[in-house]
Amino acid sequence: MHLGVSESMRECEYSQISTRSSTPMETPYKKKTSKKRKWEIFPGRNKFYCGGRIMMAKQTGVFYLTLVLILVTCGLFFTFDCPFLALQLTPVIPVIGGVLFLFVLGTLLRTSFSDPGVLPRATPDEAADLERQIDVANGSTGYRPPPRTKEVVINGQTVKLKYCFTCKIFRPPRASHCSLCDNCVDRFDHHCPWVGNCVGKRNYRFFYMFILSLSFLTIFIFAFVITHIILRSHRNGFLNALKDSPASVLEVVVCFFSVWSIVGLSGFHTYLISSNQTTNEDIKGSWSSKRGKDNYNPYSHGNIFTNCCAALCGPLPPSLIDRRGFVQSDTPQLAPPTNGITMYGATQSQQSHMVSDTETESVTKTSAFRAPNSFCRLPPHPSSSSRAASQ
């Protein structure tokens, strides 16, 4: 009996000791909070769905119009035209139409839902370091801001790298800042409202395959709908054929007014791919001979076949923003000391400089997306280390 009481008292003592700290030092870290993913604090104007797996522009109304036009036109064709054509001509027609439809839909969704090649923004520390490098490289005296450009040589051609004041980076060659999405996009081609996304390095091939296959699908539907009307008119007359299949009339109208723009756009991008240019470069005339006799495209491989293979068959670069990754806090949040005892030997002056919760959160929003070590930063200047040592 006495042993049982002593054991229970000992357990109570153990439980009290386990819930209270026996040393003046307490755990320096606060309680863990639910981690946020990087897409939740993404600084650009984008929409994310399915836990960050789908990335689109903020304005997506025209994309849904594109989707509805494709679905409705193809739905009418498969419902009202394909049964007649399969019986009168060949059942291969609906099979070919179905393959084209699935390919168009797949490339459209792949273009719209993917990262076009967004470049990460610089963190506050990286931006401050870049500012110091710019001052040192240009010998700024403080009376006027230093120039925000840098020149690199690519295949014998001088290319200027421009500084982005929003992303705080030097943009790589062929990159540009999209004003609608508020992101710097690598190998920026254009912002396409019809697909609801920017078109850049990571989704350009899918965009090209989308408009090219949509051209074939539009011509295919237009041709066989007219064939359907002609075959019916041979039996019952032209007016009766239109009355018997009013859906075919709607398909002809939609295809007639859309085929010219779609085929023209496909031809334009075929020209761009064959010369290894972007829409942005072609509109600005970056490699036009009007700018000088020595001005040429340094990215062209010299022949059409190699340029097409480089644009359509090259390796797909990975996404640089890691939108589904977890946010890592750069600075550990220390809890305030208790009983007037300094934690881990930290002085009061060091504790006064601890980052608050709001400051840490604001820093985390920009530090979650780090820029790659490419042309986004100037190389370290040799005099910067000596200046830091003297200070």
74 annotated active-site: no
Contacts of 70 (CB under 8 A, 6+ apart): 101, 104, 105, 108, 214
Distance, CA of 378 to CA of 383 (rounded, Å) = 14
CB 282, CB 81: distance < 8 Å = no
Write the single-letter amino acid at 357.
Answer: D
Cα radius of gyration (the chain):
31
Tokens 């040429």 identify what position? 296
Catalytic residue (one of 82, 164, 192, 376): 192
Closest by alpha carbon to 201, among 43, 42, 319, 113?
A: 319
Strands (E), the chain: 46-49, 54-57, 149-154, 157-164, 169-170, 176-178, 183-185, 190-192, 197-199
Contacts of 149 (CB under 8 A, 6+ apart): 160, 161, 162, 163
Residues annotated as part of the active site = 192
